[in-house]
Amino acid sequence: MSHQINDMILERHYEDGLEMSTQQLAKALDLDIDALGTKPFADCPYDGDENHKILFTGYDIFSHDELASKYANKCFEEGPDGPA
């Protein structure tokens, strides 16, 4: 049962992350913003939403979806409601 609850908690945090801008996610994840892009790059697609840019930080490149996933995991690990 706790596995299903954990999945639901992660999904809720992921959906919260999807509603945030790339800049908000980078700040929440303590990532430096070297550049933001809207042109698809390698395996980082751009979904067309002006707030969902591709993040270039150091040697890493993250799509908005990847940042939302990282945000969900961080919230899950640090939050009062997970892991169950």
Q: Report DSSP letters for 15-30, one per residue.
A: HHHHHS-HHHHHHHTT
**Given the structure tokens 């790339």, which residue do they identify?**
22
Match 């707030």 to its residue by tokens: 51
pLDDT number for residue 83: 53
> Does 83 fall in a domain?
no
Q: Is residue 57 part of a domain?
A: yes
Q: Each residue of 50-65: pLDDT tens digit?
A: 899 999 998 899 999 9
Number of domain units in the chain: 1
For the chain, counts of helices (H) and of strands (E): 3, 3
Query: Phi first, then psi: what are they for 19, rounded to 5°?
Result: -80, -15
Domain that holds residue 60: 2-78
Residue 61, in any domain of the structure: yes
Q: Is the residue at 30 inside a domain?
A: yes
Identify whether 62 is part of a domain.
yes
Q: Does 84 reside within a domain?
A: no
- What percentage of the chain exceeds 70 in pLDDT? 93
